[in-house]
Amino acid sequence: MMSRRNNTNVPDFILMGLTDSEEIQLALFIIFLLIHLITVLGNVGMILIIRLDPQLHTAMYFFLTHLSFIDLSYSTVIIPKTLANLLTSNYISFRGCFTQMFFFVFLGAAECFLLSSMAYDRYVAICCPLHYPVTMSKRLCHTLVTGPYMIGFIDSFVNVVCMSRLHFCESNVVHHFFCDTSPILALSCTDTYDIEIMIYILAGFTLMASLITISASYMSILSAILKINSTSGKQKAFSTCASHLLGVTIFYGTMIFTYLKPRKSYSLGRDQVASVFYTIVIPMLNPLIYSLRNKEVKNALIRVMQRREYSK
């Protein structure tokens, strides 16, 4: 990354947040704090249940463990600074801003491709059930998890290197509640066309490549389910992927709405609402979606609690 003095006359940024009203800021602080606590408890709880119950040591729950880890990290990158800004200073250093941006893009891209890996896992489970234990070997599972992290790191590294070439000469006011690419691009006093195209290509590749994989998996799953004769068999097959499909729909809907559009169509209010949803709300919803709709997780929780009672 280029040095700060060569790139900008701005020593730090001011995050404008979501509102100027002190009453609304206090209300948002309480709401976001509760959401963050639920997010931490839900995702840590999901990880612990999967780790402690041997019956959940399968490929699907291995992926779910990493999804919970990413959601927990995702929330931690955004919410603590947002909470601090709602009550105290809304300043963030130049390096702090780009560090937040790096981890935000890294975790977001990693989650996209992890959801693709989870879709492939469901495809094998439903379309090739007899070969599932052999196909979804421990080696393949680790590859399908390591890949998303590596792609996310490369995506984020290139993104931050491109953004670090920008020059900020005048305003340091970021019209957002965290350091996202669109509002930072809007502050640059130099031509951002090439950088904007590069970032658009990266975002487009991340979203569309992972979404195509997920779509192909679910088209095959749907075809296999329709060939099942019994209604109960269809319901059982669909229930194994319903939670993942719901999580994918919510996540990709907001991400595509926010990022696959040119900077000129950036709307402060509309994009902030979408950003709140996928950075703050979705990490809270995922453990609820995958646990409340999943009998195996509920039964595992009961078994873990019973073992604790017996050990006393």
- pLDDT at 304 > cutoff 50: yes
What is the topology classification, in CATH, of domain 13-261+274-287?
Answer: Rhopdopsin 7-helix transmembrane proteins (1.20.1070)
Residue 218 CB partners (closer than 8 Å, separation 6+): 119, 122, 123, 241, 245
Q: Are strands 91-93 and 173-174 parallel, antiparallel or unpaired?
A: unpaired
Range with the poorest average pLDDT among 86-100, 196-210, 264-278, 292-306: 264-278
- pLDDT at 305 > cutoff 60: yes
- Check: CB of residue 8 under 8 Å from CB of residue 167: yes
- pLDDT at 44 > cutoff 60: yes
Q: What are the tens digits of pLDDT across the range 203-239? A: 889 988 999 999 999 999 989 888 888 877 778 777 7
Distance of CA 18 to CAs 15, 179, 226, Å? 9, 13, 46
Q: How far apart are CA 57 and CA 226, in angstroms?
A: 29
Residue 158 CB partners (closer than 8 Å, separation 6+): 198, 202
- The domain ranges of the chain are 13-261+274-287
Is 209 or 298 the better-scoring residue by pLDDT?
209
Q: How far apart are CA 292 and CA 23, in angstroms?
A: 34
pLDDT band at 4 (very low <50, low <70, confident <90, very high): very low
Q: What are the tens digits of pLDDT across the range 63-111? A: 999 999 999 999 999 999 999 988 887 888 888 999 999 999 999 999 9
Dihedral sign for Cα atoms in the order 10, 14, 16, 22: negative
User: Which residue in the block uniquely carries the two structure tokens 């002190």?
Assistant: 22
Predicted local confidence at residue 250, as pLDDT: 84
User: Which residue in the block uniquely carries the two structure tokens 């017996």?
Assistant: 310
- Check: CB of residue 30 under 8 Å from CB of residue 24: no
Residue 177 CB partners (closer than 8 Å, separation 6+): 15, 16, 17, 18, 82, 85, 272, 275, 276
What integer is the mean pLDDT of 263-282? 73
User: Which tokens go with 242?
Assistant: 């319903």
Kindly report the average pLDDT of the chain as a whole number.
85
Residue 52, beta-bridge partner list: none
